[in-house]
Structure 1
Amino acid sequence: MSKNENSLDLIVASDLYSRYSDLLSLTKNSLLLVDLDGKIIQELIPAPNFCRYICQKEESFVCEDYKKHIKDGENGCFICKRGLNNVLMPIKKKEEIVAYITGLQAYSKDTEGERSNGLLSLLAEKKKLSFETVAKMHSELLVVENEKCEVHKQLCSYLSKNISRELEKSEEENTEHRLEQSIEREILKKKINDLEAKNNSLTVNPHFLFNTLNCIARMAYFEHASKTEELIYCLSDLLRYNLQKGESLHTIGTELDNIEKYLYIQKARLRERLEYEIDVPEHIKTCRVPNMILQPIVENAILHGISKKRDGGFIKIYGESDHQKIIIFVADNGNGFPKDVLKKLQSKEKAVGELGFRITDNRIKQYFGDEYGLNIVKSDFSGSTVSITIPSKFMMR
C-alpha cells in the first residue's frame, strides 16, 4: 500500500461526515474528497447531477477541468468551462499533497450570465440522453451570492487544513491546536449563520402559512361562507406554487391552473371591473416551462391596464404554435403601459416596478436561448398584448 493510499484510508476511516456534520448541514453546495488522480473518495455533499452525468467522463471521477488543476498542483477557486464556480483545497501530510477537498459547482451572481443553453442539445446527443433530461439537470444548478462562494471556500479550507493537521499529529493532541480549530470553526459557523439569517429574516415558515390558511378555510366552511372558503384555498395553492423551486419544469397547463386561481382572487377584489378568459389549446398545455412565467405578465395587465380604468376591463390568455415555437399571449383592453415604462422596457433599461417582467424575460432566455422570451406586441390606448415565446420541442409526447 502506497503512502498516499494509507493516508486516504486514515481520512475515510475517521468518519468525516459525523465529525463535521454541524458545518456540512449549513451548506447545500457540493463538497467532495478526491485523490490525486481525481477519483472521488467520499461525497460529503453530492455533486449536482449536471456535473455528475454530463461533465464527468466517469461517475467516480471529477471532471477534466478539476483533473487539470489537480495535476498542475493548483488550489483555490476557479471557473470551469461551463461557467461554474469551483473550489479546490489541498490536504497535506508533511507538506506533501495527498488529497483534495473540492466543491461548490454553482453559478455566482457574476457568472450567472454563463447559464446559456445553446450547447445543451449537443451535450444531450453526446451523452445519449434526451434534451429534456439534460435541460432539467442544467436548470437545477444553483446560483449563489458571491459572499456565499467565499464562505464555501473558507469551509473547504478549514476542512482541508484540519484534516492535514490530523494526519500529522501524534496521539497526544496539542491543546493549542484544538483551541485554534475551535475558534476557526465558531467564526465560520457564525459567518454562515449570519448569511442564512440575512436571507431568511423576512421569511415566514410556509407550513405555518398553509396550516393557518387551511384552518381559516375550515372555519369559513362551518360558517357557510363558501366564497371565502374557496378564496382561501385558492390563495393557499397560489402560495404553495410560488414557493416551488424557481427553475423547476412545469407544464403550461399547471401554469394556467395557477394563474386562473390568481385571477379568481383578483376578480373577487375588483368584482365586475375584471373579466377574463383563458383559451389555450390542449396540446400546448403539455409544454414544459419554468414556473411563474405567466403571473408577472398578468400582474402587469391588471396594474397598468385594468385597475386604472374606471370601468375595468378584460384579460385574455391564448396561445398558438407551429413545429418550431409556442407563443402564449396575454392581452388586455386597458390603458397600456405608461410611456416612460414602455420606453425603458423597449430600450432594455431598468424600469422601476417592472423587475418581475425583466426577470421573467431573462429566465426564459437563460433556459431556452436569446431568441425566446417576452415581447410587447402592442401597447396603446386600446390595451396591451405581451407574448411569451418558447421552443415547441419542450412539448411532451
Structure 2
Amino acid sequence: MKNTAIPLNKLIASNIYARYSGILSLSDIPLFLVDTNGDILLELIPSPNFCTHICQERGDHVCPDYKSRFASAEEGSFVCQYGLLNILLPIKVQDETVGYIAGMQVYSQDTEYQKFMIDVQSLKNNKNAELEFIAKSISCLKTVESNKIKIHEQLCGHIAKNISIDLSESISHVDSDVARLSIEKEILEKKIIDLEAKNMSLVINPHFLFNTLNCIARIAYFEHSHTTEELIYCLSDLLRYNLKQEDKLHTIASEIDNIEKYLYIQKARFKNRLEYTIDVSEKIKSFRIPNMVIQPIVENALIHGITPKRDGGKISIFAEESKEVITISIADNGNGFPKEVLDKIQKCDNKSGLGFRSTNNRLKRYYGECYGLEIVKSDFSGSTVTIKIPTQLIGRC
C-alpha cells in the first residue's frame, strides 16, 4: 500500500483529540501518535519535560530507544535506558504499519529506584542543559501504580485499534469490509464502557471534594504555603463553576473570572512557557453570554497553539464594542490551525470537532445567525478566534 502517511495525517486533521477526549479523560499518563519515521504527529497527553527536552534529539521526534524498536519491529511495553516504562503499539492498515500509539514514560513501583541513579552531570555535558532544569525534570517523573498502568495499556490498545479501523474505512469501499469494521468498532465501544466502569471509583461527591480542597487550603495557609493555598482555591472555584451546566446566560465578568483562574493554574504548571493578558472593560463585563463559551477556545489555544512550541507562547484575551456588537477575541502566537482543519471548520464539517461547531451553534441559537464564532487569523504566527454577540437581545437577525 502506497502513501500511507496521507490518511494518517488526514485523520489527525479531522481532530483525533476531540474524537477520543472521553476515553483520554480516564488517564493522565503520556500518550502520543507517531509516524514510522519517528516524528511525533500529535501529543494526546503531553510527555514529561525529561523525555521532551533531554532524551529526544528534538521535541517533535522520538528518542533513540523508540527508534531502535522501530528498526527491530518490536512492539508492546519496554523499559528505556533511564528505567522509564514505555509502550509502543502499531497502527496497521492492510497488514502494513503506518504509525504507532506510544507513550507511558513513567516509573513502576519496581523500577522507581532507577530514577535516583540517573547521572545528572553526564546529561549536562551531553545535552548542554542546566543542572537545575535536569534535576527538576527528573523529580517530576511520575511513579504509577500497576493497576493504572494496566488501564493505560488497555486504553492505548483500544485507540490504536480504533485508528486502524478508521484508516481502513477511509481507503476501503468494499461493503463486506465496512460491515466487519462496524462490528469491530461496536466491540471496541463496549470495551471503552468497561474501562469507564473500572474508573467509577474516581467519581466523588462534589461537596466532599470542595470541602476537602478548602480544608487543604487552610492547612497550606497555616503552613505559610500561600502559592499552594491560592492554587487550591482557584481549582475549587474552577470546578464549582464548571459544574454549573444550566443552559442560561452568565455575565461576561463571571466567564472572565473563570478564565483567569484557569490560566492562573496553567501558569503554575507551564511557568515561563505561558504568558497571558486579559483586557476586558468593566462595561463589557456587564453583558451576558452563554456559560462556558470562552473557556474552550482558550483551552484550545493552549493545547494546540502554545503547548507544542518548545518555548511556549502567549494568549491574549481582549474585547471591544462597536455598532451594537461586542467582539471578544482570543489570540495566541502558537502554530496556527493545520490547513485541512481550518478548511473543515470553515465549511462546518461535522467531523472537524474542536468544539467550534457546538459553541457556534449555541451562540447562534441565543443571538441569531449574524453572531457566533469566527477564525479571523490562523498562520505560522498564531491564531485569533472571535466571539461576536449583540449588546441587546432584541433585534435578533
Give the TM-score normalised by structure 1. 0.51
The answer (yes or no) to whether the contact 1:33–1:101 under 8 Å persists in 2 is yes
Q: What is the DSSP-based 3-state SS (H/G/I as helix, E as strand, rest coil) of the residue aligned with 1:153? A: helix
- The residue aligned with 1:160 is 160
CA distance in 1, matches of 2:81, 2:163: 30
Gaps (5+ residues) in structure 1?
215-230, 245-397
Note closer, same or farther for the CA distance 1:46–1:212 as it changes in structure 2 (3 Å cut): closer
CA distance in 2, matches of 1:121, 1:161: 41
Gaps (5+ residues) in structure 2?
233-397
The answer (yes or no) to whether the contact 1:106–1:144 under 8 Å persists in 2 is yes
Task: For 1:14-93, list aligned pairs within 5 A.
Answer: 14-93=14-93
Letter in 2 for 1:69: R
Letter in 2 for 1:3: N
- Please give the per-residue CA displacement for 1:284-307, whole angstroms capped at 9, x wherever unaligned: xxxxxxxxxxxxxxxxxxxxxxxx
- The residue aligned with 1:270 is none
- The residue aligned with 2:195 is 188
- The residue aligned with 2:351 is none
- Please give the per-residue CA displacement for 1:333-384, whole angstroms capped at 9, x wherever unaligned: xxxxxxxxxxxxxxxxxxxxxxxxxxxxxxxxxxxxxxxxxxxxxxxxxxxx
The answer (yes or no) to whether the contact 1:112–1:143 under 8 Å persists in 2 is yes
Letter in 1 for 2:16: L
Q: Which protein has the larger Cα radius of gyration, Structure 1 or Structure 2?
A: 1
Match of 2:186 among 179, 190, 196: 179
Alignment coverage as a number of residue pairs: 225
The answer (yes or no) to whether the contact 1:48–1:141 under 8 Å persists in 2 is yes
CA distance in 1, matches of 2:52, 2:217: 41
Q: What is the DSSP-based 3-state SS (H/G/I as helix, E as strand, rest coil) of the residue aligned with 1:115? A: helix
Note closer, same or farther for the CA distance 1:40–1:232 as it changes in structure 2 (3 Å cut): closer
CA distance in 1, matches of 2:33, 2:87: 12
Task: For 1:127-166, list aligned pairs within 5 A.
Answer: 127-166=127-166
- Please give the per-residue CA displacement for 1:112-142, whole angstroms capped at 9, x wherever unaligned: 1111255012102222222111000111111
Q: Please tell me the root mean square deviation across aligned C-alpha atoms, in Å.
A: 3.3
CA distance in 1, matches of 2:100, 2:142: 22
Task: For 1:290-369, list aligned pairs within 5 A.
Answer: none
Letter in 2 for 1:41: L
- The residue aligned with 1:205 is 209
The answer (yes or no) to whether the contact 1:7–1:98 under 8 Å persists in 2 is no
The answer (yes or no) to whether the contact 2:91–2:161 under 8 Å persists in 1 is yes
Letter in 1 for 2:91: I
- Please give the per-residue CA displacement for 1:219-240, whole angstroms capped at 9, x wherever unaligned: xxxxxxxxxxxx9952685995
Shift of 1:27: 1.4
Q: What is the DSSP-based 3-state SS (H/G/I as helix, E as strand, rest coil) of the residue aligned with 1:62? A: coil
The answer (yes or no) to whether the contact 1:110–1:146 under 8 Å persists in 2 is no
CA distance in 2, matches of 1:84, 1:183: 31
Shift of 1:6: 1.7
Note closer, same or farther for the CA distance 1:40–1:118 as it changes in structure 2 (3 Å cut): closer
Letter in 1 for 2:73: G
Give the TM-score normalised by structure 2. 0.51
Shift of 1:93: 0.3
Note closer, same or farther for the CA distance 1:193–1:108 as it changes in structure 2 (3 Å cut): farther
Q: What is the DSSP-based 3-state SS (H/G/I as helix, E as strand, rest coil) of the residue aligned with 2:191? A: helix
Note closer, same or farther for the CA distance 1:112–1:233 as it changes in structure 2 (3 Å cut): closer
Letter in 2 for 1:152: H
- The residue aligned with 2:222 is 234
The answer (yes or no) to whether the contact 2:33–2:100 under 8 Å persists in 1 is yes
Shift of 1:63: 0.5
- Please give the per-residue CA displacement for 1:165-214, whole angstroms capped at 9, x wherever unaligned: 111124675342342122011112222444x46xx79x953665537986
Note closer, same or farther for the CA distance 1:233–1:38 as it changes in structure 2 (3 Å cut): closer
Note closer, same or farther for the CA distance 1:209–1:42 as it changes in structure 2 (3 Å cut): closer
The answer (yes or no) to whether the contact 1:151–1:192 under 8 Å persists in 2 is no
- Please give the per-residue CA displacement for 1:227-255, whole angstroms capped at 9, x wherever unaligned: xxxx99526859957x99xxxxxxxxxxx
CA distance in 2, matches of 1:15, 1:213: 38
The answer (yes or no) to whether the contact 1:36–1:71 under 8 Å persists in 2 is no
The answer (yes or no) to whether the contact 1:213–1:236 under 8 Å persists in 2 is no
CA distance in 2, matches of 1:209, 1:38: 42
- The residue aligned with 2:267 is none
CA distance in 1, matches of 2:160, 2:59: 23
Shift of 1:26: 2.1
Letter in 1 for 2:209: N
- Please give the per-residue CA displacement for 1:76-102, whole angstroms capped at 9, x wherever unaligned: 100001000001110000111110000
Note closer, same or farther for the CA distance 1:132–1:97 as it changes in structure 2 (3 Å cut): same
